[in-house]
């Protein structure tokens, strides 16, 4: 094989997220990858670099917000910048942008560094189909395989920072809430991306179902917001607490609810987990520590209030449940504002 031919080889390789397929930066490689992936022409390929110092070689400018995000490099995040006009079409988008990722995978970064050329890269699956989690699951053909261990199995989070704002293009390894906690700036959602809210209390019979039902009412016009509730110690398929039912009906809200036990898949589904008290935060952190950054206290969410606990009125009288619902309504107005600012 000639030196020129080697430059257009297709590689299959491990990353810190999912198996990748790619080749060295060139127009020929863009065409070859697009054919293999059956990737739509309006969907560009990102670049894999060996070091964050190389980013400036391929972008027009580095926006200030990048300084708060570079802590995730190398890692499971792809950042979109305004790209150099010299980049080939298919890497440079129609809007003049380029996605850049620095994988937290030493062998892969060493390979890129040794060859002194970025890789055009994408996940090793047909566009729109199941993403494999291991190299031996990949059905795509390649000229060469770089062996090694694949990471988390979650794709990288894709974030457009080209205008010094945070626009999520794909959910992935780094959660929305973690990015917001790091930057102090709210993330906007790109096209076709939903936002999932999970309320958590103990039995899922009073506080969290009232919060779920009320927020659904407030956000009826937001068709990309999904809201659920669960209990850390819920007995599944039990009707809502009688006073909670009465309070909801007093407020002309649907009172139908069946209890649900909190599970790890539910935690993983959620983008924001709103808990009623500290014991719920501790339980979720124990059950799924990798998702702890999604947790916030419902009572103080987007507020300067100091008391974060919303007390459980279960077993108390109707008036106690009414008082709890007033706290829920107050907190949900802040959640509603936050959600409406996402789109």
Which are the catalytic amino acids? 201, 207, 312
Query: Residue 160's CB: how many other CB atoms inside 10 A?
Result: 19
User: For the chain, what is the radius of gyration of the CA atoms?
Assistant: 23
Measure the CA–CA gap between 324 and 268, rounded to whole angstroms: 28
Cα torsion at 139, 145, 148, 149 (round to 10°)? -10
Q: How far is CA 147 from CA 14, 144, 218, in A?
A: 7, 10, 51
Query: Residue 249's CB: how many other CB atoms inside 10 A?
Result: 11
237 contacts: CB under 8 Å, gap ≥ 6: 258, 259
Burial class (CB in 10 A: 0-12, 13-18, 19+), 320: middle
Strand 157-160 relative to strand 20-24: parallel, antiparallel, unpaired? unpaired
């Amino acid at each position: 094989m000639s030196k020129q031919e080697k430059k257009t080889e297709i590689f299959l390789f491990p990353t810190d997220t999912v198996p990748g397929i790619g080749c060295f930066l060139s127009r020929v490689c863009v065409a070859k990858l697009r054919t293999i992936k059956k990737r739509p022409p309006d969907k560009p390929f990102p670049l894999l670099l060996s070091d964050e110092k190389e980013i400036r070689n391929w972008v027009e400018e580095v926006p200030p917000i990048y300084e708060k995000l570079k802590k995730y490099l190398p890692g499971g995040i792809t950042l979109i910048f305004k790209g150099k006009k010299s980049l080939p079409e298919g890497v440079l988008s129609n809007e003049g942008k380029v996605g850049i990722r620095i994988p937290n995978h030493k062998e892969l970064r060493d390979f890129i560094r040794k060859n002194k050329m970025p890789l055009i890269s994408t996940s090793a699956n047909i566009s729109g189909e199941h993403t494999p989690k291991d190299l031996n699951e990949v059905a795509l053909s390649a000229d060469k395989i770089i062996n090694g261990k694949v990471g988390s199995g979650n794709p990288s989070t894709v974030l457009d920072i080209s205008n010094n704002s945070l626009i999520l293009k794909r959910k992935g390894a780094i959660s929305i809430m973690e990015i917001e906690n790091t930057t102090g700036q709210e993330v906007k959602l790109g096209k076709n991306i939903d936002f999932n809210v999970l309320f958590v209390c103990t039995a899922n019979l009073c506080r969290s179902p009232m919060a779920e039902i009320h927020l659904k009412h407030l956000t009826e016009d937001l068709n990309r917001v999904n809201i659920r509730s669960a209990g850390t110690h819920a007995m599944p398929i039990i009707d809502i607490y009688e006073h909670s039912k009465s309070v909801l009906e007093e407020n002309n809200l649907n009172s139908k609810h069946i209890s649900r036990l909190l599970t790890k898949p539910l935690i993983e589904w959620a983008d924001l987990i709103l808990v009623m008290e500290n014991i719920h935060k501790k339980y979720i952190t124990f059950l799924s520590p990798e998702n702890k950054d999604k947790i916030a206290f419902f009572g103080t969410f987007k507020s300067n209030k100091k008391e974060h606990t919303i007390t459980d009125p279960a077993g108390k009288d109707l008036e106690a449940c009414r008082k709890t619902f007033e706290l829920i309504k107050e907190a949900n107005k802040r959640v509603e504002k936050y959600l409406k600012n996402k789109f």
